[in-house]
Structure 1
Amino acid sequence: MDQPQGPLLHIGLTGGIGCGKSTVADMFAALGATVVDTDLIAHAMTIPGGPAMAAIAAQFGAPYLLDDGALDRIKMRALVFSDPGAKLRLEAILHPLIRAGAEQEAQAATGAYLMFVVPLLIESGNWRHRLARVLAIDCPEALQIARVMARNGMQEAQVKAIMAAQVTRPVRLAAADDVITNDDKITALAPQVEALHRLYMAISAGMARIPSEDL
């Protein structure tokens, strides 16, 4: 995905499952960022009649579709975690559509800067060169597990399997330029978000003084 025209700062927001990426992204959006959430884009691709569903049905068959024609995410999740080849086939369908959707949203950005929410940003290896900074949302692994079990009704082993497919917490933190700690002290989130928003606004202001042809 190419940078949109003009000096618009690109931030990548990532974090392990259950770390609170959506909560933090919503807070940045409220402060004036344009947020492009690749998870939401992927979800829109796999609703009934979604642009990915014909290819998914052809590739995986009816057992991986719900009665209304949407993707059966529970069955598909189980398949891709047990079959690396299936994971690659699903990614081959979804990733080009997600990239196109993200680019379309980015081109329509009206905020002070762009924030891409990408759960597997570090794992993909394809995002870092598109971003000025990477922001990681961090929390203790035990808290991740407890949150996801409560939110999604998963068993502990299922959550741990998902976490095992993601980069480790130390690797994610090492790859980040900025870190927000979300350890269930919700009131502590706001000052962290506001401080980084001020930083991103300052960087954006500096970029705005650079002629776009020099960027």
Structure 2
Amino acid sequence: MSIDYYKFYPLFTMFVGLISFLIVGTVAGLISLEINEGMILLLGLPIGSLLMLFILSKLDRDKILAVIIRSLLGGFAGFLSGFIIGELLVEVIGFIIPSLKNLEQVKAQIVPNIVALSIADAIYGIFIGHLLYGRKSIKFFALICAIASIPFGILVSMSIDVDWIDFEQNLLFMLVSFGTTTGLAIGFYSLLKRVKANKG
């Protein structure tokens, strides 16, 4: 591939991540209606990751099990860490700003959601980035995923009611954010490696 093509590669990989996780997440969401809403993440994380990496030609047979395990660990670790830190931030905001004593009122604030999702996406990105590119990619994936997750944090905060989504839509938005941000990080990291290789 030429450098000119690679300039648009991050957009392509981001789109692949978004579509892969959206499709898988929607199917998992429909299944969750019959079982449990947790199925959105339990099924969406590994299958979405496998689909994204397969389309991007980054899924080797010997890494399939590792992708499944790391996507689940990274996703749930990110989800729990982001949730805990987000809740702590809510408490801190409520303490600093007395007018926001009502917890539900504080939760409606956009900052805690953005912070929580940024942490969740960064952790998930670290797990996938380390698997694909090793330790050197950890900081890069964490930074790109955290920044790219901001629009999704805003989306979650807006409490949009999508008619065709009968299941927990915030879990779907979170799942799609994992794929979108990690896909973008894969594209940028590949572009960076390509540029360095050409200079060398």
Give your verdict on TM over 0.5: no
TM-score by length of 1: 0.30
Normalized per residue, the structure richer in helix is: 2
TM-score where L is the length of structure 2: 0.31
Structure that is richer in strand per residue:
1
